[in-house]
Chains A and B, each alone.
Chain A
Amino acid sequence: MHSKKLSNKLWRQKYLILMIFPFIIWLIIFRYIPLWGWIMAFQDYKPGRPIWNQEWVGFRWFVEMFQDPDFYKAMRNTLVMSFMGLIFGFPLPIVLALLLNEIKNIAFKRTVQTISYLPHFVSWVVVASLVSEILSPSGVINQILQKLHLTNYPIMFMAEPRYFWWIVTFSDIWKELGWNTIIYLAAITSINPELYEAATVDGAGRFRKMISITLPGIMPTVTVLLILSIGNIINIGFEKQFLLRTAATRDVADVIDLYILTYGIGTGRYSFGTAAGVFKSVVSLVLLVFANWFSKKTTGYRMM
Chain B
Amino acid sequence: MKKKAAGELVFEIFNYTLMIILAVVTLYPFLHVLAVSLNDPYDTVRGGITIFPRKFTMVNFIEMLNYPQIPWAVLITVLRTVIGTAVGVLSTAMVAYVINRKDFIARKPVAIMFIITMYVGGGLIPDYMLIRGLGLMNNFLVYILPGLISPFNVIVIRSYMEGLPSDLEESAMIDGANDFLIFWKIILPLCAPVIATISLFIAVGHWNSWFDTYLYCSGEPKLTTLQFELQKILSNAAASSQVDYYSNLDPNRTMKVTPHSLRMAMTIIVTLPILFVYPFVQRYFIQGMTIGAIKS
Taking Cβ atoms with an 8 Å cutoff, the residues of A that contact B are: 9-10, 13, 15-20, 23-24, 26-27, 29-38, 40, 96, 99-100, 102-103, 108, 111-112, 114-119, 121-126, 128-134, 138, 140, 158, 174, 177-178, 182-183, 186, 205-207, 239, 243, 245-247, 257, 260-261, 264-265, 270, 273-274, 277-278, 280-281, 285, 288, 303-304
Contacts and interface: CB of A to CB of B under 8 A. Distances in A.
B124 A257 contact: yes
Nearest to A112: B19
Contacts of A114: 279, 282
Contact of B126 (A35, A122, A126, A158): A35
Contact of B121 (A31, A177, A206, A257): A31
A23 B149 contact: yes
Interface of B: 4, 7-8, 11, 15-16, 18-19, 22-23, 25-30, 32-33, 36, 47, 50, 91, 94-95, 97-98, 101, 103-106, 110, 113-114, 117, 119-130, 134, 145-146, 148-149, 178-180, 183, 204, 207-211, 215, 227, 230-231, 234-235, 237-239, 263-264, 266-267, 270-271, 274-275, 278-279, 282, 286, 289-290, 293-294, 296
Contacts of A124: 208
A32 B149 CA distance: 14
A13 B238 CA distance: 57
Contacts of B104: 13, 16
A27 B208 contact: no
Contacts of A103: 15-16, 19
A304 B235 CA distance: 39
B293 A183 contact: yes
Nearest to B148: A26
Contact of A33 (B130, B145, B149): B130
Contact of B234 (A111, A128, A270): A128
Contact of A27 (B32, B103, B117): B117
